[in-house]
């Protein structure tokens, strides 16, 4: 008779947290989870929000570096975009990147990685991506007006799981086929009616 291992929620969390602390900070084996009291857990929750904001900021800076080369931006335009990103609060309205000239473009930045390390986005993740694509195409109510000929970009982390998740998303949603296209290597974006998906690394 086969014995089925039972899932224990707290034990699974304990293993993941202990492994993270050990590997990320090169700490010795220990039960760090057990040392987390209420104040420590609340502090960790707050820090995780800051980490997500940092990841988004660095991915946005990575996109600006990509756009500088792909769209042949001059150094002053690139510097202006970087300064705007670094001075923008995480909860700000509008697009993550908005360049009015000389080549107008807007971008939304997504740090989503498919849930549970898989190759498919969860329902909420898919809805968020589709919502952002729609906002790029049709505007945001609280965003500044966008130049009519603006190029539009959806920025993703360049990791295999995200690439697989996007492949599945496009294949499973026929409405995206005309509105969204992953930019191929060496391809020059030129159609303002399409949202181009681009994969970039973190910037600094």
Q: Enter the tokens of residue 69.
A: 């080369």
Supply the pLDDT for residue 146. Answer: 86
User: Residues near 173 by Cβ (< 8 Å), separated by ≥ 6?
Assistant: 126, 130
Residue among 201, 200, 179, 197 at smallest CA distance from 189: 197
Residue among 77, 197, 177, 184 at smallest CA distance from 129: 197
Output the CA angle 128-103-81, nearest 5 degrees: 65
Which of 10-19, 45-54, 106-115, 184-193 shows the lowest mean pLDDT across its residues?
45-54
pLDDT range class, residue 4, cuts 50, 70, 90: low
Say yes or no to pLDDT of 204 above 60.
yes
Supply the pLDDT for residue 199. Answer: 96
Tens-digit pLDDT profile for residues 20-47: 889 988 999 999 999 888 898 888 888 8
pLDDT range class, residue 178, cuts 50, 70, 90: confident
Tens-digit pLDDT profile for residues 43-56: 888 888 888 888 99
Residue among 111, 99, 181 at smallest CA distance from 144: 99
**DSSP characters for 118-178?**
-SS--HHHHHHHHHHHHHHHH--TTSPP--TT-EEEEEEE-SHHHHHHHHHHHHT-TTHHH
Tokens 């509105």 correspond to what residue?
Answer: 179
Q: Enter the tokens of residue 196.
A: 């181009």
Asked if residues 161 and 114 have their Cβ atoms less than 8 Å apart, the reply is yes
Say yes or no to pLDDT of 1 above 70.
no
Tens-digit pLDDT profile for residues 118-174: 788 988 999 999 999 999 998 887 778 888 899 999 999 999 999 999 999 988 888
Has this prediction a pTM greater than 0.85?
A: no
Supply the pLDDT for residue 142. Answer: 78
- DSSP conformational letter for 80: H
Mean pLDDT of the chain: 88
Residue 107: strand, helix, or coil: strand
Asked if residues 31 and 18 have their Cβ atoms less than 8 Å apart, the reply is yes
């Amino acid at each position: 008779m086969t014995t089925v291992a039972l899932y224990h929620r707290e034990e699974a969390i304990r293993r993941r947290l202990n492994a993270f602390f050990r590997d990320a900070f090169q700490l010795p084996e220990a039960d760090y989870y057990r040392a987390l009291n209420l104040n420590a857990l609340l502090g960790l929750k707050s820090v995780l929000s800051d980490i997500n904001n940092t990841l988004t900021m660095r991915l946005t800076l990575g996109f600006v570096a990509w756009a500088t080369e792909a769209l042949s931006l001059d150094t002053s335009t690139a510097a202006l975009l970087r300064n705007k990103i670094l001075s923008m609060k995480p909860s700000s309205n509008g697009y993550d990147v908005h360049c009015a000239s000389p080549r107008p473009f807007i971008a939304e930045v997504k740090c989503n990685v498919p849930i549970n390390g898989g190759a498919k986005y969860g329902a909420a993740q898919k809805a968020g991506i589709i919502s952002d694509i729609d906002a790029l195409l049709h505007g945001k109510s609280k965003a500044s007006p966008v130049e009519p000929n603006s190029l539009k970009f959806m920025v993703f982390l360049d990791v295999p799981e995200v690439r697989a998740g996007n492949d599945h998303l496009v294949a499973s949603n026929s409405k995206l086929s005309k509105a969204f296209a992953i930019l191929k290597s060496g391809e020059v974006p030129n159609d303002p009616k399409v949202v181009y998906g681009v994969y970039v690394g973190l910037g600094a």
